[in-house]
Chains A and B, each alone.
Chain A
């Protein structure tokens, strides 16, 4: 079976400092990969290298494109990579403000993505946007409000709707529940779990929160100082950690 994403020895350095070093893994359709680590572990650097936001210093990131099979996205032309970002790929930022257009209405934020891939019929676009707002539990009567009038949790849910409306195959998420209240987090995680299953999405989620990976991720990579120290099935890495650092992380989580 062809992997959806083939990450091959991706490295990024900041001068003499290691951002991430020699990271390799294969992601298959329908799999959710969690990347955990503490501040400075290199997880966000890695995610940004994979998503095309940063240029790695070495390695390849091959994606199974619909037309051309496995293609290295790092050596792709800028227009090609941008097209990928509008169709098959999506990126959910930690701060919804980074992933939304704050001066455009909620409906516009979702509809814009449809227009970018060729949708032209206003009525249909509006209907699809309303449908998606419903799926992320935003009331239909908020469709013409700007995201600046939304709560943090609502903004994040809008960001998810905006990202998923084009039916991407791979979603990158950077601390998707960071900064949200606990009850809001729970609701968002539930929503993501449901959507990932319904849409058969693959996702790569960076977080420092082990409970989030336990809930959402099938597989887990643990990073420390730019290196992947352990990888495996999420439940296996959390219940039977092999590496000393993973054991420390897991034992440090407080029980409620």
Chain B
């Protein structure tokens, strides 16, 4: 479902003396449907960078990222947009808030984009917000003023609203208490059970050991460190 081959990346900072920072060399791994692979490595080793490249958010210098019939490393923008709509989901570390959109609409949006009806999208959003313990009276409010943990739970609800065949999770259990961590891990297990291929970053070892079938150490792909 997800195949990474000989992936390389470096950053060139033109306005800071043209500094070149090589961050990835020949990264290689694959994820099968129903599997969850955990990316590990010290902070700054390139875990989030790799995840962003899988999503097409960061550009690859060379190599291949094959997901759902698309090579993200060299696809046209419209192919990646279509991939993100119905095949590839991404739960980032932080929720990007749009000022006037209600929590319910934030969570329902990915479903609406796939052509799902407004009523069933909203029902699904409500179901997830309940499970993630976001109080009902907050559903019509914008998440702008919510706590970090609440925002992250809204972010997670949004990421799991649509049943993506491939899912990228960046620190989904950070900022969560034990009860909510349990809910998120259950959501991940359910996604695996329906055949989703998942790549996750979990600093929390217990969470990682619970849901990840394998671990990939990105330090192996960091130039100068491997």
CB under 8 Å from chain A, chain B span 143-195 = none
A78 at the interface (CB under 8 A from B): no
CB under 8 Å from chain A, chain B span 96-155 = 98-101, 112-113
Complex interface: chain A residues within 8 A of B29 (CB): none
Given contacts A239-B57, A244-B15, A248-B15, contact A233 B113 (CB under 8 A): no
A43, chain B: closest CB distance, angstroms: 19
A225 at the interface (CB under 8 A from B): no
Contact A31 B78 (CB under 8 A): yes
Contact A236 B56 (CB under 8 A): yes
Contact B99 A232 (CB under 8 A): no
B80 at the interface (CB under 8 A from A): yes
Complex interface: chain B residues within 8 A of A1 (CB): 78
A22 at the interface (CB under 8 A from B): no
B81 at the interface (CB under 8 A from A): yes
Most chain A beta-carbon contacts within 10 A, residue among B56, B77, B98? B77
A190 at the interface (CB under 8 A from B): yes
Question: What mask results when residues 40 to 76 of chain B are scored 1 for a CB within 8 Å of chain A, else 0?
Answer: 0000000000001000111100000000000000000
Question: What mask results when residues 176 to 208 of chain A are scored 1 for a CB within 8 Å of chain B, else 0?
Answer: 000000000011001001000100000000000
A131 at the interface (CB under 8 A from B): no
A240→B12 CA distance, assembly (Å): 10
Complex interface: chain A residues within 8 A of B15 (CB): 244, 247-248, 251
Question: What mask results when residues 236 to 256 of chain A are scored 1 for a CB within 8 Å of chain B, else 0?
Answer: 100110111001100100000
A236→B78 CA distance, assembly (Å): 13
Contact A239 B112 (CB under 8 A): no
Closest to B14 in A: A244
Contact B98 A197 (CB under 8 A): no
A38→B93 CA distance, assembly (Å): 31
B13 at the interface (CB under 8 A from A): yes
Contact A218 B113 (CB under 8 A): no
A240→B11 CA distance, assembly (Å): 8
A234, chain B: closest CB distance, angstroms: 9
Contact A240 B59 (CB under 8 A): yes
Complex interface: chain B residues within 8 A of A218 (CB): 77, 81
Contact B14 A190 (CB under 8 A): no
Closest to B113 in A: A197
Partner of A219, one of B14, B52, B77: B77
Complex interface: chain B residues within 8 A of A251 (CB): 15
* Chain B interfacial positions (CB closer than 8 Å to A): 11-15, 52, 56-59, 77-78, 80-81, 98-101, 112-113
26 intermolecular pairs with C-beta atoms under 8 Å apart: A31-B77, A187-B100, A190-B98, A190-B99, A190-B100, A193-B98, A197-B112, A218-B77, A218-B81, A219-B77, A232-B77, A233-B57, A233-B77, A233-B81, A235-B57, A236-B57, A236-B58, A239-B52, A240-B11, A240-B52, A240-B57, A242-B12, A243-B14, A244-B14, A247-B13, A247-B15
